[in-house]
């Protein structure tokens, strides 16, 4: 029963993690296939993959912290949006060679949102600990509402 | 006492994580040593290391999710097998230069197994949540049995 | 209330993770800015960044395991020290081109300390499980005292 409580609090995060793993596998397949052909595209694919992989642990860490500290639904929602942005970034990177490639960074806004969720969660926890006032429910409602703002392109 | 319950549910996963950290340190030592000598081997070592490191966060995330959502023993067992495969991959990568190197991906089967464990765990949790039927024990037994199939080369 | 207990046990770790995310963002900004200018510095920046990013999942995994298995305060303290060392390493890497660059590895001592914390935590858990003797409080006190040794350069 206790184990079910644990799963209850994280299952949305697990789902997003699984989707991100699928996406990683898709990227890796691309790199794998290109590494056999040795077209000029290879560098772009492996570079896009490396940029995505560089940011991956950071993303996972922030998403899980946000989900554990505050509330899992908005964190998982932001995670899904991040994965969409990453997909667009990867595909955009493979675009026409003449075209300039996107920069090193992507999804800054979403990482920032998740970061703020963590900060608010910790701040709220300290408030509860030292003053006994718990605004968690209000904060969770506001966060859920604010997460829809991420949909604005 | 509560803290001991937490550790009880994750200690096998922690052990596998520690072994993987030792392995990372071994890989890093190799890269470190080669970077001083500047033999032609350097590229192969650093490439093997990079491929291993690219897959590392994915592996950790899937293993921990599988361990938390379903059952830690089969997840830790699959993790150990993955580390063996990775060791073999790394050593194989450093083999004779004439030989073709292994591809970018490795341990696909084990990642897939851990992935399915997560999916089954989440599905089982949703069943329990909406229908009240808990097949966790059966699923755990089946998973433990199925994990031995990973030993087949 | 249960959720607050969870946050209580991890909030220092979350703070360190957030600081590390900020540092990653700082590194990424450096890489991003350099990739526009294409100075000879670019290779050094991206190499320093890659070395830091290679070690990042290992660091996060060990820190969280140490924090969960034994005690969060020394783990978070060691994490902060690690981030300082990493900052120094990154800045040192960008130093004068004539100067030899630091090696591939850094912060070995801190990773080793966190590793030992995990081992002690697991060992203590097994003692508690099979012999019923719980030395956790003593071990935590010793660990807190030992963590100050990390301050010695």
CA dihedral A49, A51, A53, A58 (to 10 degrees): -160
The two tokens of residue A114 are: 């998740």
Subunits adjacent to chain C (3 or more Cβ pairs under 8 Å): A, B
pLDDT reported for residue B42: 63
* Burial class, B146, CB count within 10 angstroms (exposed 0-12 / middle 13-18 / buried 19+): middle
Q: Do C111 and B10 touch (CB under 8 A)?
A: no
**Are B132 and B107 a contacting pair, CB within 8 Å?**
no
* Percent of chain B residues past pLDDT 70, beyond the cut: 88
* Burial class, A145, CB count within 10 angstroms (exposed 0-12 / middle 13-18 / buried 19+): exposed
User: What is the arithmetic mean of pLDDT over A44-71?
Assistant: 88
CA of A18 vs chain B CAs: smallest distance (Å): 7
Please state the pTM of the whole predicted model.
0.87
Digit-coded pLDDT (tens) for B18-48: 999 999 999 888 888 877 766 555 677 888 8
Q: Do B68 and A29 touch (CB under 8 A)?
A: no
CA pair distance C25, C31, nearest whole angstrom: 10
The two tokens of residue B20 are: 């993987």
pLDDT reported for residue B1: 44
| Residue A54 pLDDT greater than 70, yes or no | yes
- CA distances A45 to A20, A96, B58, B118, Å, are 18, 12, 19, 29
DSSP-derived secondary structure letter, C151? G
Residues of C in contact with A121 (CB under 8 A): 7, 14
Q: Do B14 and C118 touch (CB under 8 A)?
A: yes
Closest by CA to C125, choosing from C140, C110, C111, is C140
Residues of A in contact with B116 (CB under 8 A): none
**ipTM metric:** 0.83
Number of Cβ within a 10 Å radius of residue C80: 16
CA pair distance A101, A91, nearest whole angstrom: 11
CA pair distance B117, A7, nearest whole angstrom: 13
Interface test with C, best of A47, A104, A115 (most C CBs within 10 A): A104
Measured between CA atoms, the residue of chain B closest to residue C121 is B7
A105-110, long-range: CB within 8 Å, 24+ apart, which pairs? A105/A55, A105/C28, A105/C29, A105/C32, A106/A51, A106/A55, A107/A55, A107/A59, A107/A82, A109/A150, A110/A78, A110/A81, A110/A82, A110/A85, A110/A150
Closest by CA to A63, choosing from A137, A150, A136, is A150
The two tokens of residue A120 are: 């608010």
Helices and strands (H, E) in chain A, number of each type: 5, 0
Digit-coded pLDDT (tens) for B75-100: 999 999 999 988 988 888 777 655 55
The two tokens of residue B56 are: 């590392």
The residue whose two tokens read 């858990």 is: C125
Helix B72-93 to helix B136-147 angle (10° resolution) is 30
Interface test with A, best of C14, C23, C24, C46 (most A CBs within 10 A): C14
User: What is the arithmetic mean of pLDDT over B61-68?
Assistant: 92
Measured between CA atoms, the residue of chain B closest to residue A14 is B65
CA of B128 vs chain A CAs: smallest distance (Å): 9
User: What is the arithmetic mean of pLDDT over C40-61?
Assistant: 82
CA of C114 vs chain B CAs: smallest distance (Å): 10
* pLDDT band for position A42 (cuts 50, 70, 90): low
Measured between CA atoms, the residue of chain B closest to residue A21 is B58
Interface test with A, best of B1, B8, B13, B58 (most A CBs within 10 A): B58
* pLDDT band for position A40 (cuts 50, 70, 90): low
CA of B11 vs chain C CAs: smallest distance (Å): 7
Closest by CA to B35, choosing from B47, B53, B52, is B47
Measured between CA atoms, the residue of chain B closest to residue A60 is B61
Subunits adjacent to chain A (3 or more Cβ pairs under 8 Å): B, C
Interface test with B, best of C5, C73, C103, C104 (most B CBs within 10 A): C104
CA pair distance C150, C77, nearest whole angstrom: 9
Closest by CA to A5, choosing from B133, B69, B88, C43, is B69
| Residue A56 pLDDT greater than 60, yes or no | yes
Closest by CA to C22, choosing from C105, C114, C81, C87, is C87
Residues of A in contact with B134 (CB under 8 A): 4
The two tokens of residue C13 are: 């770790």
The two tokens of residue A18 are: 């699984």
The more confidently predicted of residues C152 and A67 is A67
Distance from chain centroid for Cα B5: 24
| Residue C62 pLDDT greater than 70, yes or no | yes
Residues of C in contact with A65 (CB under 8 A): 14, 17-18
CA pair distance C133, C127, nearest whole angstrom: 6
Option in A61, A69, A105 nearest C21 (CB): A61
The residue whose two tokens read 């010695």 is: C152
DSSP string spanning C73-122? HHHHHHHHHHHHHHHHHHHHHTS-TTSPPP-S---HHHHHHHHHHHHHHH
Q: Do B129 and A18 touch (CB under 8 A)?
A: no
- CA distances A57 to A13, A24, B79, C55, Å, are 14, 12, 19, 11
CA of B137 vs chain C CAs: smallest distance (Å): 22
Helix C2-37 to helix A2-37 angle (10° resolution) is 20
């Amino acid at each position: 029963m206790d184990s079910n409580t644990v799963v209850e609090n994280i299952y949305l995060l697990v789902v997003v993690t699984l989707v991100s793993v699928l996406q990683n596998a898709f990227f890796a397949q691309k790199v794998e296939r290109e590494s056999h052909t040795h077209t000029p595209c290879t560098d772009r694919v492996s570079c896009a993959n490396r940029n995505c992989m560089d940011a991956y642990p950071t993303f996972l860490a922030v998403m899980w912290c946000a989900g554990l500290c505050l509330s899992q639904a908005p964190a998982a929602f932001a995670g899904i949006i991040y994965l969409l942005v990453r997909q667009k970034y990867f595909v955009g990177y493979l675009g026409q060679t003449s075209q300039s490639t996107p920069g090193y960074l992507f999804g800054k806004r979403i990482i920032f949102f998740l970061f703020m969720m963590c900060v608010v969660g910790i701040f709220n926890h300290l408030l509860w600990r030292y003053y006994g006032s718990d605004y968690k429910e209000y904060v969770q409602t506001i966060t859920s509402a604010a997460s829809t703002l991420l949909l604005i392109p």
